[in-house]
Every structure is written in C-alpha cells, then in structure tokens.
Amino acid sequence: MRDATYRMCWSPSAARPRLARRGHHRGVGRRIGHRARQGLAPRTEPALRRDPDHLFGLGAHHPYGITTSGNKITGRDPRVRPDAVIYDVELTLDMPKKLTVTSLMNSLAHPISTLGTGSLAGEAREQAFGAVVTLYAAMEMLLHAPENARARAGALEGSGLAAQAIESGTLGLHHKLAHLLGGRFDLDHGGLHSVLLPHSVHRLREEAPELLGELGRRLHVRDLEGDLFDFLVRARAAVSLKDLGLSFDDFRGFLETAPELPRGLLGAAFHGRRPSADTRFEDWGLPEPVSVRGPLLQSARRVVVAVHDRGGTADGILARAVELVGDDPTVCVIAPQAQNHAWPKAARTQVSAVLRGTVDKSKADRVVLFGFAEGAGLALDLVMQRPEPLAALVGLSGAATEIPTRCRRARLSRRCPSFWAQATATRA
C-alpha cells in the first residue's frame, strides 16, 4: 500500500456519480488520502484510482462533487461512501508540515461549517465539537513536532469525527465559497479551505457569537481565527487566494458575476489579511473594508491611521502600529487596504478619504499618520496637502524618492511633529 496510487473520478455526464477506472477529478473534494489505506468496494467498475496526496479529509461519508466547465455540482450518494477506512499512523510520519496543516484545516472546516449552520443537535453536535478540539490540538502539536506519532493518531481520529459531521449536518457558507472558487479556478483543495477558514470563522463571530464563545472555551483560546491564520504562517502555507495562483483580474471578474457573495470576506481572503477577534472590518465606502482595532474614534485618546507598503496588508501594518503604541487600550488604530496590494495614484484618494473621515469623527490634534515604505511616502504627501496639521507623522523605510527634501522638512516641521527613519539602502 505504501506505493499504491488510487484515484476517484466522477462522470459529469451521468445523472449520478459513477466509479471510473481512470481519470482525474479536480477542485474541491479531489484530494482523497495521503498514504492512508482505504478500502472501497466499487459498485459499477472493478477499480478506483486514487492519489495519496492528502491524508485528512476522507472518512465514512457520502457527499460528492463534480466539476465540469468551471462549475461544481455537489450531492450525496451512498455509493461514494467507503465500506471501510483504515488509517495507519506510521504511513503519515513523513508527511510534510505544510501539507499536514492544510489537510487538517480542510478537515477542521467540516465540523465548524456544520456547527455554523445550526444543523447539528445532541450527540452529533457534541461529536462535532470533539472533532474541532481533537484536530486543533493535533495541528498545534504537529507544528512543533511533525513526526509525533501521538499527534498523528489524534489527527486521524479527529478527521474521522469531522467526516461524521458532514454525514449528520448541513454545510454552510464556507463550503459554498470553496465549491464556487474551486470549481471555477481549479484551486488546490486543501489550500483553498485553509485560506478561507480563518475568514469564515471571523464571519461566524458576528453571525453566531455564542458558537464562537463555546469553541473558545473548549479550545482555551480567545482568538480562534487569528490562531488559524498564524498556523498557516508557521507552516509556510498559502494565506491568500493570490498565493494559490488566483490573479486579481480573475478574482474581480468572479465577484462581478456573483454580487450576492460576501465581498468583504472574499477580499480579505484574496489579499491574505489576518482576521482577529480584536479587529473589526468596517465598511467605509471603499473597495476593501478598513481594519479597525481599539476603542471608538469618538472616545479614543489617540488615533493612528496606518498605511501599508506595496505588497503588504492593512492588518500587517495595523499589528506593527499596535506594537509601537504598546497595545495601549486607549488608542484606536485604523488601516485601509489597497486593492491588489498596491497604491496607484488613483487609489491614493482612498487613504485621503480614510484620513478625512477619521479627523471628522475625532480631532486633528489626536490623529497620527503612520506609513511604511510606499505607505510612508503617501503619508508624507497627505500631510503636506492638508489644510490643518495633525498630531504627528511617522514614516519608516521610505524609498529614496520619498525622503523629505530640506525644503519639505522645513515646511513639515511647521505643520506637525514628525519622525522619519530609513536604512541607507533597501533590499528587494
């Protein structure tokens, strides 16, 4: 079995799935098992071919997915349910850390999604919570010790419980988005679930706060979505749809064809923004939500408007600003997000709009403008153009063309206190 390669394939032309001797089923639901020995008795043909490239995610359940012409059709059929699933911990010990984490995130999405729909009750609901706890603990341990056999065994156990959640409940928005994106763009299955899951959890925090509270108590964590995102970072896995190979133009076209989908969630997933229980994604009338952390603007002692660099994210620069102010609970930090991670001239009016809205809700003498790299140059331009001074300007690592000239420094010093720092050379 160590060298076995089996693959499951569905026939798009059939009214129900059939088991094919050869073929390749791609998209959501395609990855079946990584060196896991699984016995399926074919119903219509004598052999299943299966790729051992994922470990966690298949259990004794019968949902299926058919991808054809960029669309994914899902359903349930008892013929796709295996007669037996046999897991062997030893065969998983050399599984790469990144693949381990994305596979476990794939499994974790099942109980969280079904719990989010409220479709589980009694023993099935308790079993789903058990799956979440077991998978989370296994993932946390395997990030530290990838060859830990006990953690691998827990991962297998949790995956089996997660599969039962699919059998007993109804999947929610998370899986709808995964099916649409996976079917349309043929994205890596485990990677897609991994990128979407932290954002799906963040949305559930607003829609089902009691559920997130219960999950937090059972897991002994306060910021589940932030922790899941950090797991991906530690595993060096993709954290954005862009990392998975989706281009901005294709992503924008996808949103235009499906205006009913949650643009904020999908935009955050495309850009790789870090969701957190401490961060609010607010609609300021811009193409992307604005990240806000801390007290309300009207009551904040100080407000920091943080502008990220090219290739950065609003939540990355927000985290740096929070560190610089010492996580002061009286300081509100606001960070706009550039579309496709860059601030072209046309988009710079968005930062100006955020700054103007911040001053209107607070006071100019409470507002500090903070920028990094490209964001530092943009911050400098905005301060120089303003009719009234701000509390301060902080610019870090601006490129050479963004360094204030002697004349501009003199003008700037008359407008507001400023701090400007950069190395003598920058590296790509």
User: Using one digit for the tens of pLDDT, what is the confidence trace for 299-331?
Assistant: 999 999 999 999 999 999 999 999 999 999 999
Return the higher-pLDDT residue of 86 and 159: 159
Beta bridge partners of 281: 291
Domain final position from 223, 243, 277: 277
pLDDT of residue 71: 65
428 in a domain, yes or no?
A: no
Q: Residues 369-380: what's their mean pLDDT?
A: 91
Q: Which of 89-98, 196-205, 279-288, 307-316 has the lowest mean pLDDT?
A: 89-98
pLDDT grade for 23, boundaries at 50, 70 and 90: very low
Integer Cα distance of 155 and 56 in angstroms: 7
Cα-based torsion angle of the residue sequence 333, 341, 247, 282 in order, rounded to the nearest 10 degrees: 20
Domain final position from 277, 294, 326: 277
User: Using one digit for the tens of pLDDT, what is the confidence trace for 99-135?
Assistant: 999 999 999 999 999 999 999 999 999 999 999 999 9
Backbone angles phi, psi at 320, to 5 degrees: -65, -40
67 in a domain, yes or no?
A: yes
pLDDT of residue 20: 33
CATH number (domain holding residue 206): 1.20.1090.10
pLDDT of residue 163: 87
- 302 and 234 within one domain: no
- 204 and 140 within one domain: yes
129 in a domain, yes or no?
A: yes
Q: Which of 70-79, 297-306, 345-354 has the lowest mean pLDDT?
A: 70-79
Q: Residues 378-397: what's their mean pLDDT?
A: 88
Q: Residues 415-424: what's their mean pLDDT?
A: 76
pLDDT of residue 405: 57
Domain around 320: 279-421
Nearest of 148, 123, 126, 127 to residue 137 by alpha carbon: 148
List Cβ neighbours of 289 (8 Å cut-off, separation of 6 or more).
264, 267, 268, 281, 282, 283, 337
Q: What is the DSSP letter of 404?
A: P
Q: Which residue spans within 249-318 are E strands per DSSP?
A: 280-282, 290-293, 302-307
Query: Per the structure, how many domains does the chain have?
Result: 2
Return the higher-pLDDT residue of 10 and 336: 336
- 395 and 336 within one domain: yes
- 285 and 414 within one domain: yes
Share of the chain above pLDDT 90, in %: 61
- 308 and 203 within one domain: no
pLDDT of residue 182: 92
Q: Residues 197-216: what's their mean pLDDT?
A: 97
Q: Which of 55-69, 129-143, 214-228, 406-420 has the lowest mean pLDDT?
A: 55-69
pLDDT of residue 37: 33
- 195 and 82 within one domain: yes
Domain final position from 235, 254, 277: 277
Q: Where are the alpha helices (DSSP H) in 236-313?
A: 248-257, 263-271
Return the higher-pLDDT residue of 74 and 141: 141
Q: Which of 27-31, 66-70, 347-351 has the largest mean confidence?
A: 347-351
Do 63 and 36 form a contact (C-beta atoms < 8 A)?
no
CATH number (domain holding residue 346): 3.40.50.1820
Q: How many CA atoms lie within 13 A of 46 on its CB side?
A: 0
Is 202's pLDDT higher than 60? yes
- 243 and 302 within one domain: no
52 in a domain, yes or no?
A: yes
Q: How many CA atoms lie within 13 A of 400 on its CB side?
A: 4
Number of DSSP helices (H) and strands (E) in the chain, helices first: 13, 13
Q: Which of 13-27, 124-138, 252-266, 340-354 has the lowest mean pLDDT?
A: 13-27
What is the residue-averaged pLDDT of the chain?
A: 82
Integer Cα distance of 298 and 359 in angstroms: 10
pLDDT of residue 74: 65
426 in a domain, yes or no?
A: no
Residue 421: how many other CB atoms lie within 10 Å: 10
pLDDT of residue 381: 85
- 24 and 12 within one domain: yes
184 in a domain, yes or no?
A: yes
- 236 and 301 within one domain: no
Q: What is the pTM of this model?
A: 0.82
Return the higher-pLDDT residue of 254 and 7: 254
The residue behind tokens 């004349």 is 407
- 77 and 200 within one domain: yes
- 394 and 283 within one domain: yes
Q: Residues 373-381: what's their mean pLDDT?
A: 88
Q: Where are the alpha helices (DSSP H) in 69-188?
A: 97-116, 122-144, 149-168, 173-185
427 in a domain, yes or no?
A: no
- 303 and 254 within one domain: no
> Could you tell me the sign of the dihedral formed by the alpha carbons of 402, 407, 409, 415, in that order?
negative
Exposed/middle/buried for 37, CB within 10 Å: 0-12, 13-18, 19+? middle
